[in-house]
Amino acid sequence: MSSAYKRSLILLPITLGVLAFTHVLSGKFDITFSQLISSFTSFDPDDLNHVIIQEFRVPRTLTTILAGASLSLAGMLMQTLFQNPLAGPYILGINSGAAFTVALGTLTGLSFFQSDAGILGSALIGAFVFGLIILMFSFFLRNIVSLLLIGIMIGSFTSAITSILLSISTPENMKIFTLWGLGSLQKVESGQIVFIFISFVIGVLHLLTQLKGINALVLGENAASNLGINLRSLRISMISITALLAGMVTAFCGPISFVGLAIPNLSRIIFKTANHRKLTYANIILGAHFLLIADLITIWFEPIILIPINAITALIGAPFIMLIIIKKLK
Amino acid sequence: MIELKNIAIGYTSKLIEVNEMTLRPGEIKALIGANGKGKTTLLRTLTNQIPALKGTISIDDVPIALMERNNISRRIAFIGPGFKGVEGLCVFEYILLGRTPYLNQFGTISEDDKTICLEALRVAGIEALKDRITSQLSDGQLQLASIARAIAQNTPYIIMDEPTTFLDYRNREIIFNLLIKLSEDGKGILFSTHELEFVSKRDIPVIAITNEDQLIQFDQCPGIDELVNLCF
């Protein structure tokens, strides 16, 4: 059992590397491996291929890896916090918060809020404000199920307001909002990757310091408390990390669905463990795999049809996960 | 020694009045009382999950309310009722969680921790279950795994809420024998139960919650008839 884990420590990074290179090299313009290398070693701003690699391909690949890993980790935290395999990174309404501010921003009709930077800004504000609201509730709600219900209620309430905002919006603004809602991994510029990367690193480091509590939490809140865990500070940490990871990805890429729900379950099934040190690794690496594959499919279909990433994650993801569940659990 | 003196126990209104109650290392005591009389409330108060309404509980002369949560977990192991296992959590991982109060923030498990847990598996007699998934175990196996987890927690006291509910006759005997053995090895054991026959047959000292909401300690098990009249 643990030897399977050790094998995966070597095998999965290799397959991730292969996938990442395939991802960088795939697209409308044919790019060779040597061009990829030379774009790093001797960048030529007049070489179109070099510009494509540096400005579009590499950022997109890195975004995909970080988004897949971040959302999977956020989903893992929420599933453990609520002891519910149906929880995901958006269960506390972070995506509805972002959607609300994006809709509000585009409605103003100001061109800034319709630009990529404006949408990013409003989504960031929405994700974090709603993360903070949930965090405030978690301070005084003792019961974790109440917190879950409050999160879902806030999400529904906000979505209702968003739909009212959209109904009084112009068709153009509605289109901007809809496009954001479909999710996209190609809008992130090379300079912005740093923000996603830093928040990912902060999130993971903070998560590692909470591993003892998170592991004990699988036995339930009472048992964890009896094992000496401070539930309140653990809960606040888990919600903060989720808000940071999911909020950052949602702001930059839109609400990418399914990954954060499926990968934590897949990780538990494949690695057969409740040890969150192993599960953290599993979610990072499997989440990155999954989103890279999903995005590769959208790239391959691009000459024929533009498929939104959200359609692919569910379209290929759902049957695949079902197959694994049926095979592993009989 | 766990010591209670002149204490009122309950969630918001008083359930039980305790004049005196003690549990020393090496002792085993059965907590008897009718449904709804506050057995679980008492056990939860003892483990500082809810505060006492009046008075102080002390462990080895230190008031429990002043102790760090982690410190309490190094003194008292608690086994709640109705653990059903967790998907993906194998028995050995479950027992390792008993080491939680001794781990750093990162949850790093040392070789010593593993040795202690292997020994706990052996004491509970469930070495064969080491790699089994907890959600696939029977109630009897789960209870033994929970006791092994409490042993791994390496506390002078173990408190259990109805450890033999849902168990068949043979498994009840196994659990009771194990609890008695642990007390003989020096642990202080307190468990709530409705198994008056078992308690009386093994002559286990009884703490009874009476119909008048008082707590009475018996050094020897009184007759079943007397207990029934007193408590039910």
ipTM of the complex, rounded to two decimals: 0.92
Least confident of A134-143, B12-21, B93-102, B130-139: A134-143
C-alpha radius of gyration, chain B, whole number: 17
Q: Would an 8 Å CB–CB cutoff place A77 in contact with chain B?
A: no
Tens of pLDDT, residue by residue over A161-170, are: 999 988 888 8
Average pLDDT for chain A: 89
| CB contacts, 8 Å: A209 with chain B | 105-106
Q: Would an 8 Å CB–CB cutoff place A227 in contact with chain B?
A: yes
Compute how many other C-beta atoms are within 10 angstroms of the C-beta atom of residue A116: 15
The answer, yes or no, to whether residue A8 has pLDDT greater than 90, is no
Q: What is the DSSP string of A49-84?
A: HHHHIIIIIHHHHHHHHHHHHHHHHHHHHHHHHTT-
pLDDT band at residue A237 using 50, 70 and 90 as cut-offs: very high
Contact B97 A219 (CB under 8 A): yes
Tens of pLDDT, residue by residue over A241-251, are: 998 999 889 88
Strand duo B57-59 + B28-32: pairing: unpaired
pLDDT score for A1 = 47
B44 closest CA partner among B5, B76, B75, B86? B76
Q: For A16-35, what is the mean pLDDT? A: 90
Cβ contact A55:A112 at 8 Å: no
**Structural tokens at position A135:** 């965090």
The answer, yes or no, to whether residue A2 has pLDDT greater than 70, is no
**Structural tokens at position A294:** 């999903």
pLDDT score for A138 = 84
| CB contacts, 8 Å: A282 with chain B | none
Q: For A126-141, what is the mean pLDDT? A: 86
The answer, yes or no, to whether residue B223 has pLDDT greater than 60, is yes
The answer, yes or no, to whether residue A17 has pLDDT greater than 50, is yes
Tens of pLDDT, residue by residue over A109-121, are: 777 777 778 888 8
Residues 6+ apart with CB under 8 A from B33: B39, B192, B208, B209, B231
Q: Would an 8 Å CB–CB cutoff place B81 in contact with chain A?
A: no
DSSP state of A44: -
Residues 6+ apart with CB under 8 A from A286: A12, A72, A263, A266, A267, A270
The answer, yes or no, to whether residue A260 has pLDDT greater than 90, is yes
Alpha helices (runs of H) in chain A, residue ranges in sequence order = 2-25, 33-41, 48-52, 58-81, 94-107, 111-114, 116-140, 144-167, 171-182, 193-209, 211-217, 221-226, 231-253, 259-271, 276-301, 309-329
| CB contacts, 8 Å: B105 with chain A | 209-212
Residues 6+ apart with CB under 8 A from B82: B165
Q: Which CATH superfamily is domain B1-75+157-171+190-232 in?
A: P-loop containing nucleotide triphosphate hydrolases (3.40.50.300)
pLDDT score for A172 = 85
Nearest CA in chain B to A269: B88
The answer, yes or no, to whether residue B43 has pLDDT greater than 90, is yes
Torsions phi, psi for B117 (to 5 deg): -70, -35
The beta-carbon contacts of B42-47 under 8 Å, at least 24 apart in sequence, are B42/B9, B42/B16, B42/B18, B42/B209, B42/B215, B43/B78, B43/B159, B43/B161, B43/B190, B43/B192, B45/B9, B46/B2, B46/B4, B46/B76, B46/B159, B46/B190, B47/A226, B47/B72, B47/B76, B47/B78, B47/B159
The answer, yes or no, to whether residue A104 has pLDDT greater than 60, is yes
The answer, yes or no, to whether residue A45 has pLDDT greater than 90, is no
- Domain positions in chain B are 1-75+157-171+190-232, 84-154
Cα A168 from chain centre: 30
Residue A92 region, left (φ>0) first, then alpha (ψ -120 to 50), else beta?
alpha
- Residues forming beta bridges with residue B189, ordered by sequence position: B28, B158
pLDDT score for A286 = 96
CATH of A2-296, one of 1.10.3470.10, 3.30.1020.10, 3.50.50.60, 3.30.70.270: 1.10.3470.10
Tens of pLDDT, residue by residue over A64-99, are: 999 999 999 999 999 999 988 888 888 888 888 988
Contact B70 A210 (CB under 8 A): no
Contact B153 A227 (CB under 8 A): yes
